[in-house]
Structure 1
Amino acid sequence: MTMALPDLLALCVLCLIPVAAWKAPSFCHETNCPEYTVIHTYPDFEERLYRPSHWLTVDVSKVDMEEVKTAMFTLYYYTKGENKDKADVKLPWPSTIQVEEEGEGDEQQKQKHGSVSWPIPSGTHLPKANAHAIKETHLPAVRVYVRSFGGVASEKSGTEEVTKLRASVKAMGMTFVPNRFVAAGYDSPLNLINRHNEVWVFAE
């Protein structure tokens, strides 16, 4: 299997970074978040290099509140025993929504599909899922631009933050993969204060 040049370069950079014990940031709530290295911090966003990671994923044909909520509950119930072993499975933050955009116009007019995921720490035993929609996915080493924001995230606020992030990255003279982004949340819906949310766009 051949590897795209940006992925190959990211992997080479990753190999040059000294190996150190991963210390997850405080917004991971002492869970084993996907590991990354901060390459550079800009005024409005952060550039990160993520190590290869595995995720538990449910695809959604349309990124709207109903389908995303259904996918998230499918994953949640899996972790609470709706699996072949009837076992609880502890997965860390963040929960993510990866969005693929189609069509022209502004962000509100584009058609969106994608997936909802939770990360799988190395060494985690995953019982077979009862729900056929659940699958395991792999994210190779990847470089992303990240904008953080607080509050209770919504489809509207997520779209606004992506627009701001893209504008900031362009203003710095850098490019990113168009029509693709990730929204990441690090808090339970029951936690209404000091919430940490992110949007990511993929560096080219």
Structure 2
Amino acid sequence: MEQLLSVLVVLVLVSFCRGWEAPDFCHQQQCPQYQVVGSHQGFEERLYVATDWISTKVESTENSAVMAAHSRLKDYCQRQKAAGNEISTDTWPALITVSGGEDGLDLSMSWFLPPGTMKPENTDPSVTIQSRPEATIYVRVFGGTPSISIGQDNAKMLREALDRAGKTFDHHTYIGAGYDPYLSVTHHNEIWIYAA
């Protein structure tokens, strides 16, 4: 019995010491750590650790506006690198946050900053550095080439699944998370909605 107990203790300690292993859809790049709290019909419930992001406004739902936001973040990272501040661009996911409703949508694009990234003093008013606290997030996974309209459809499906499950959640904001380059043959996409 003591031997069995010793083996179990060792296995538990080894699992904690190994650290977090990113899922395959992160493509061996850094992405935010989370723990799956529950799996439900149509969504997964995850607990994310506190994270940092660089963000910029997306001016409209047009693809050209999304590409312009992407270019702003990329240029910002290159300027920071030239100034001696290393900001990794080898991270996933890229986020599109959609807030608002009938009066119009507010959109922003964000890139994940890995833990330990030195956050430089920001002199670019078009880019912000955001810290997001630990949070429970409801996640719907879907494939295909992402777009704002496909994200809206999947956000609607996630909200319906959350209502059926009796979950309380943010009704005004959702986040589209993409883990692949836009021109990739396959895509792992997610819709995130924060628990209320």
TM-score, normalization: structure 1?
0.79
Q: CA–CA distance in 2 between the matches of 1:72 and 1:150? A: 21
Match of 1:102 in 2: 101
**Unaligned stretches of 5+ in structure 2?**
1-14
Among candidates 174, 180, 189, match of residue 187 of structure 1? 180
What are the Cα deviations for residues 137-189 of structure 1, in whole angstroms up to 9, with x where unaligned?
01001111100011101122111100100001101111211111100000112
Q: Distance in 2 between matches of 1:140 and 1:126?
A: 16
Q: Does the 8 Å CA contact 1:145/1:203 hold for their aligned counterparts?
A: yes
Residues 96-175 of structure 1 correspond to what in structure 2 (within 5 A)? 96-103=95-102, 111-125=104-118, 131-175=124-168
Q: Decide which structure has greater helix share.
A: 2
**What RMSD over aligned residues (CA atoms) do the two structures have, in Å?**
2.2
Instruction: Look up the SS of the partner of 1:201 in the other structure.
Output: strand
Equivalent of 2:21 in 20, 23, 34: 23
SS state at 1:82 partner: helix
Kindly report which structure 2 residues correspond to 1:72-87, keeping only aligned pairs within 5 A, or say none: 72-79=70-77, 81-83=78-80, 84-85=82-83
The aligned amino acid for 1:82 is R
Q: Could you tell me which amino acid in structure 2 is paired with residue 199 of structure 1? A: I
Instruction: Give the aligned residue type for 1:74.
Output: R
Unaligned 5+ runs, structure 1: 1-17, 104-109
Report the 3-state secondary structure (helix = DSSP H, G, I; strand = E; otherwise coil) of the residue aligned with 2:163.
Answer: helix
Equivalents in 2 of 1:112, 1:64: separation in Å? 12
Structure 1 residue 77: Cα displacement = 2.7
- Give the structure 2 partner of residue 66 of structure 1: 64
% same residue:
32
1:102 Cα shift? Answer: 3.0
For the pair shown, the structure with the greater C-alpha radius of gyration is 2
